[in-house]
């Protein structure tokens, strides 16, 4: 009997001990526990344009220039720079005391090799390298960029926050072929990556780089003083929205980087949670295949744009009006090139006008193969609404269901829609992607060498070339307006609205998040 | 016995080979392009082609298959397309949570289900029997994720007793390890308890109607001994079989539970690999699952030999 009692007491004690609530560790290291927007699988931010890899890049690498909260380019690793009167020779000097995580100093040789690798992958980097006559080290901390011709966006390229930022790596790492992923994670940024604790699908760990010397200016975007206020940052991979919500309410994580739309109301009403500004918003766009009927005829493509009801589409996808806004401009609301000059495009349905245009263009009832990523929660409410709108405008719509990887593979096919190709699809973009017409990947007019949909429009390409050479803000603004209007005339990209990203944080533990064109973790205070 | 074992082991080779061919063809014939997922939304068609070539996806299918099979025969499951790490290492990182969850679930289930099934058969038609049957019906009909979220709501969010998500390695301590596994193991146990208890009840109830039970009782043997030694032993083969099937199903069934409780196990790794079309990872995990199925079947067959002397002859 005594034995049985002992056994029961021991078992009960074990269960109670296991079930006892976790106490916070007093006076331990400050650990920021974050649910990132997706899993970090690829660690080379030059090799992929995945947003999560870029965010990882900003944690461990630094850039020569940054972009502040107002979109202005500011020196970051660079202490001073100058350009010749003809704009062809640029001299840059690095800040004193820059060190990689292995203790080695950052030198001009590291910078030059890093820029070469970046320039082989990034669209704007390719243009800059093509315009470059030479890129040489003058000394360990000074390098010279000599251009064959004036290039109006040197600083914009060197501070480019997306899709592939020019991160500075050690020369030996940056010497990796641009087509191969790097295997080292040594940077000179404010966080150090813990390779030994990296478990894709589970956890990514960073610790504060105690050797990092922030700039003296206040933090602003990817510019200014990158001050890290925590000892350790853990990215905890939670893919299920409900689990994310439960975990933050229960205090198991401090911050959800990007709250799923269906969890928004639950978190908004929770007194323990506050919403902070951390992740920039983005937009969605309709993309058409210009190689085949019906959209090889710009008038018919324009008719499709006239069918768009941004309000109906965004309401279906984003559910709550707090999470979206309409915007007919190609450029994000509140940014430098945002413009009301949108030609015929209003983002509101103009069915009568669309039907008239279809008649005038001789639309022959060719089916519009609309790709529908049925299980992809971020986009799967759009296609059924889009199909209904197109039908109302007079289109014959063939909506085909598939998963997202299939859609991504199929959009690369140049075969006719009836032979496995496609006619239209919708996808999303981050603010840094379309803040500048030269950054925006689908805004191409160079036919089959361009982005999926392959529109051919020499006028658009000429305007982009002019934009590249423009030297004043006024010239650029005027050209951005013209590019936008040309985009609608040639019916290349149709914006269908902007989504707002909501970051949830534990009210009692998080302060000091930094508003930036990309998601960054310096500045945050815990406790 | 040894000859039987050797024969069965040899017989697994063609089974695994066929499975390997099927897995390979299924990954390659299914639509979706890993290269497109790797390079991102704004990659050009030329970049896609370059990555495809780099991953070896432009090679003839037979060459790709031969390369993979040769690697497998040398113990190399290949490298993940995305993570650029060996598949065996990724599986190694994720196997502990899945094995821990499955093992704890099956132990709890057997410890509860078999006695409950025996008691229900013994008190056939009584309140325990009726209660168990009702519980079985509920256990089968309520989806795992519903049970999981209800348990989370009660024990984590309301009572603040257990964590919502995550997994602690056993090397970090038994109590933290157990703490994270209580809710997911309970969630899964409810389903398997329903299955195994029901089969135990039916099997023991049938054994209790046999002549040898009547004889045993007539000889004055205690009721406990009749139940355990005579009825349960003779009803063991279907019970062992369903436990074997249960374990095999469990390995697949942990996927949803791992997702609900954010346990970084093989289930979530599989889903992730499929969604991103990470072919080497899909192939490696599926081959491992197939080997586990084959191994469990082998163990079940061996248990028949131990339980029933007639089979040995």
Say what the ipTM of the complex is: 0.78
How many beta-carbon pairs below 8 A join chains A and B? 139
Q: What is the mean pLDDT of residues B63-70?
A: 91
Q: What are A404's two structure tokens? A: 């997202």
Residues 6+ away with beta carbon under 8 Å from A307: A349, A350, A351, A354, A389, A390, A392, A393, A395
Q: Do A405 and B277 touch (CB under 8 A)?
A: yes
Tell me if B42 and A433 make a contact (CB, 8 A cut-off).
yes
The pLDDT of B78-92, averaged and rounded, is 91
SS3 string of B127-177? HHHHHHHHHHHHHHHCCHHHHHHHHHHHHHHHCCCCCCCCCCCHHHCHHHH
In chain A, pLDDT over 70 holds for what percent of residues?
95
Tokens 């295949």, located at residue: A289
Per-residue b or e along A444-453, where b marks 16 or more CB atoms closer than 10 Å to that residue's CB: bbeeeebbbb
- Burial (CB < 10 A; 0-12, 13-18, 19+), residue A381, is middle
User: pLDDT at position B209, please?
Assistant: 83
Q: From the CA of B283, how many Å to the nearest CA of chain A?
A: 18
Q: What percent of chain B has pLDDT over 70?
A: 96
How close B265 gets to chain A, by Cα (Å)?
A: 9
HEC secondary structure over A7-24: HHHHHHHHHHHHHCCCCC
> A409 and B152: CB-CB below 8 Å?
no
pLDDT of residue B254: 81
**Mean pLDDT calculated for residue range B242-260:** 81
Report the C-alpha gap between B216 and B234 in whole angstroms.
13
B108 in contact with A at a CB cutoff of 8 Å? no
Flag the least confident range among A108-117, A343-352, B58-67.
B58-67
Query: What is the 8-class DSSP label of residue B227?
Result: I
pLDDT at A501: 86
Residues 248-267 of B with CB under 8 A from A: 259-262, 264
Higher pLDDT, A102 or B249: A102
B57–chain A Cβ distance below 8 A for any pair = no
Q: Does A18 touch chain B (CB under 8 A)?
A: yes
| Nearest to A431, CA basis, from A335, A318, A313 | A335
Q: Is B40 on the interface with A (CB under 8 A)?
A: yes
**Stronger pLDDT, B245 or A340, i.e. the higher one:** A340
Contact status of A41 with chain B (Cβ, < 8 Å): yes
pLDDT value for A102: 96
> Quick one: pLDDT band at residue A214, thresholds 50, 70, 90?
very high
Checking if the pLDDT of A4 tops 60, the result is no
pLDDT in tens, B139-188: 878 888 899 999 999 999 999 999 999 999 999 899 999 999 999 999 99
- The reported pLDDT for the residue numbered A437 is 92
**How many whole angstroms separate alpha carbon B284 and alpha carbon B69?**
11
Residue B185 and residue B193: Cα distance in Å, rounded? 11
Phi, psi of B247 (to 5 degrees): -65, -45
> Could you read off the pLDDT of A59-100 as tens digits, one per residue?
999 999 999 877 789 999 999 999 999 889 999 999 999 999
In the prediction, which pLDDT does B43 show? 67
- Structure tokens that stand for A31 in this block: 């650990």
Whether B90 has its CB under 8 Å from any CB of chain A: the answer is yes
Cα separation, A310 vs A347, whole angstroms = 5
Least confident of A176-180, A475-479, B58-62, B253-257: B253-257
> What pairs with residue A134 in β-bridges?
A146
Q: Please name every residue paired with A399 in a beta bridge, in sequence order, or none if there are none.
A: A370
Distance CA A145, CA A89 (A): 6
Instruction: Give SS3 for A493.
Output: strand
pLDDT in the model for residue A24: 43
Q: Which of A11-20, A77-86, A160-169, A358-367 has the lowest mean pLDDT?
A: A11-20
User: If you average pLDDT over every residue of chain B, what do you get?
Assistant: 86
Evaluate if residue B25 carries a pLDDT over 50.
Answer: yes
Task: Look at A405 and B31 and tell me if their CB atoms are within 8 Å.
Answer: yes
From the list B83, B149, B155, which residue is nearest A41 (CB)? Answer: B83
The pLDDT of residue B313 is: 61
Give chain A's length.
527
Distance CA B278, CA B293 (A): 23
Higher pLDDT pick, B7 / A476: A476
Q: What is the mean pLDDT of the segment spanning A22-38? A: 75
- What does the pLDDT look like over A16-28, one tens digit per residue? 444 544 444 446 7
Neighbours of A504 (CB within 10 A): 30
Chain CA centroid to CA B52, Å: 34
Helix (H, G, I), strand (E, B) or coil at A165: coil
Q: What is the mean pLDDT of chain A?
A: 90
Tell me the mean pLDDT in the region A125-142: 94
Q: Residue B161: list chain A partners with CB under 8 A.
A: 19-21
CB contact B201 to A (< 8 Å) = no
A31 in contact with chain B, both atoms CB, cutoff 8 A: no
pLDDT (0 to 100) of residue A61: 98
pLDDT score, position A23: 42
Report yes or no: A179 at the B interface, CB cutoff 8 Å. yes
Distance from CA of A40 to the nearest CA of B (A): 9
The dihedral built from the CA positions of residue A80, A81, A85 and A89, taken in this order, carries a sign that is positive
- pLDDT for the residue numbered B42: 66
Packed helices B87-122 and B266-275: angle between N→C axes, nearest 10 degrees: 130
* DSSP designation for A381: T
């Amino acid at each position: 009997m005594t034995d049985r009692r002992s056994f029961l007491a021991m078992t009960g004690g074990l269960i109670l001990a296991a079930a006892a609530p976790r106490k916070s560790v007093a006076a331990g290291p400050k650990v920021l526990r974050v649910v990132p927007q997706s899993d970090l699988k690829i660690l080379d931010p030059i090799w992929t344009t995945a947003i999560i890899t870029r965010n990882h890049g900003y944690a461990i690498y630094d850039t020569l220039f940054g972009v502040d909260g107002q979109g202005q380019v500011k020196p970051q690793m660079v202490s001073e720079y100058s350009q010749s009167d003809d704009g062809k020779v640029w001299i840059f000097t690095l800040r004193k005391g820059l060190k990689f995580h292995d203790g080695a100093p950052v030198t001009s040789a590291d910078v030059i090799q890093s820029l070469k690798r970046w320039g082989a992958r990034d669209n704007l980097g390719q243009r800059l390298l093509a315009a470059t006559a030479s890129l040489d080290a003058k000394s360990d901390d000074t390098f010279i960029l000599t251009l064959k011709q004036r290039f109006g966006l040197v600083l914009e390229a060197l501070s480019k926050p997306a899709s592939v930022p020019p991160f500075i790596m050690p020369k030996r790492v940056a010497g990796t072929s641009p087509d191969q992923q790097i295997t080292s994670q040594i940077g000179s940024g404010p966080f150090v990556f813990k390779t030994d604790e990296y478990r894709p699908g589970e956890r990514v760990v960073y610790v504060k780089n105690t050797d990092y010397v922030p700039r003296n200016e206040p933090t602003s975007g990817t510019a200014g003083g990158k001050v890290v206020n925590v000892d350790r940052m853990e990215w905890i991979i939670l893919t299920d929205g409900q689990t994310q919500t439960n975990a933050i309410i229960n205090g198991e994580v401090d911050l959800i980087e990007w709250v799923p739309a269906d969890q928004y109301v639950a978190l908004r009403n929770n007194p323990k949670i506050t919403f902070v500004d951390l992740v920039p918003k983005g937009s969605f766009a309709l993309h058409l295949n210009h190689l085949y009927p019906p959209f090889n005829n710009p008038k018919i493509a324009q008719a499709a744009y006239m069918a768009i009801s941004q309000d109906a589409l965004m309401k279906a996808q984003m559910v709550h009006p707090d999470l979206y806004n309409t915007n007919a401009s190609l450029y994000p609301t509140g940014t430098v090139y945002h413009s009301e000059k949108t030609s015929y495009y209003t983002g509101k349905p103009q069915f009568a006008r669309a039907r008239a245009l279809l008649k005038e263009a001789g639309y022959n009832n060719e089916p519009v193969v609309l790709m529908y990523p049925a299980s992809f929660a971020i986009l799967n409410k759009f296609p059924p609404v889009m199909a209904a709108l197109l039908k109302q405008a007079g289109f014959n719509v063939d909506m085909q269901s598939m998963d997202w990887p299939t859609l991504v593979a199929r959009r690369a096919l140049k075969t006719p829609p009836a032979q496995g190709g496609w006619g239209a699809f919708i996808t999303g973009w981050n603010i840094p992607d379309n803040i500048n017409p030269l950054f925006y990947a689908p805004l191409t007019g160079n036919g089959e060498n361009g982005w999926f949909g392959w529109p051919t429009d020499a006028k658009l390409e000429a305007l982009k070339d002019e934009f590249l050479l423009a030297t004043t803000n006024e010239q650029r603004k005027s050209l951005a307006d013209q590019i936008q209007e040309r985009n609608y005339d040639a019916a290349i990209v149709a914006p269908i609205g902007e989504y707002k990203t909501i970051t949830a944080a534990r009210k009692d533990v998080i302060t000091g998040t930094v508003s930036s064109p990309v998601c960054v973790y310096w500045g945050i205070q815990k406790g | 016995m040894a000859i039987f074992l050797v024969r069965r082991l040899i017989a697994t080779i063609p089974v695994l080979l066929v499975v390997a061919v099927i897995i390979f063809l299924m990954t390659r014939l299914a639509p979706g392009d890993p290269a497109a997922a790797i390079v991102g939304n704004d990659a050009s068609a030329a970049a896609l082609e370059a990555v495809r070539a780099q991953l070896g996806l432009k090679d003839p299918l037979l060459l790709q298959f031969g390369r993979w099979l040769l690697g497998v025969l040398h113990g190399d499951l290949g490298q993940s397309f995305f993570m650029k790490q060996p598949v065996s290492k990724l599986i190694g990182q994720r196997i502990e949570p899945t094995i821990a969850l499955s093992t704890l679930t099956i132990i709890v289930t057997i410890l509860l289900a078999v006695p409950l099934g025996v008691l229900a058969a013994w008190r056939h038609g009584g309140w325990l029997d009726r209660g168990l049957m009702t519980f079985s019906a509920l256990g089968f009909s309520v989806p795992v994720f519903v049970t999981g979220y209800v348990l989370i709501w009660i024990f984590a969010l309301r009572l603040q007793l257990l964590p919502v998500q995550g997994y602690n390695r056993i090397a970090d301590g038994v109590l933290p390890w157990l703490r994270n596994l209580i809710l997911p193991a309970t969630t899964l146990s409810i389903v398997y308890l329903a299955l195994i208890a029901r089969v135990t009840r039916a099997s023991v109830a049938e054994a209790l109607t046999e002549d040898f039970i009547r004889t045993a009782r007539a000889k004055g043997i205690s009721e406990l001994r009749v139940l355990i030694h005579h009825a349960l032993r003779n009803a063991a083969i279907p019970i062992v079989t369903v436990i074997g099937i249960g374990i095999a199903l469990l390995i697949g069934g942990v996927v949803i539970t791992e997702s609900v409780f954010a346990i970084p196990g093989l289930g979530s790794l599989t889903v992730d690999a499929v969604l991103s079309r990470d072919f080497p990872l899909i192939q490696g995990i599926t081959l491992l699952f197939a080997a586990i199925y084959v191994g469990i079947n082998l163990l079940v067959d061996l248990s028949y030999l131990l339980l029933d002397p007639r089979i040995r002859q």
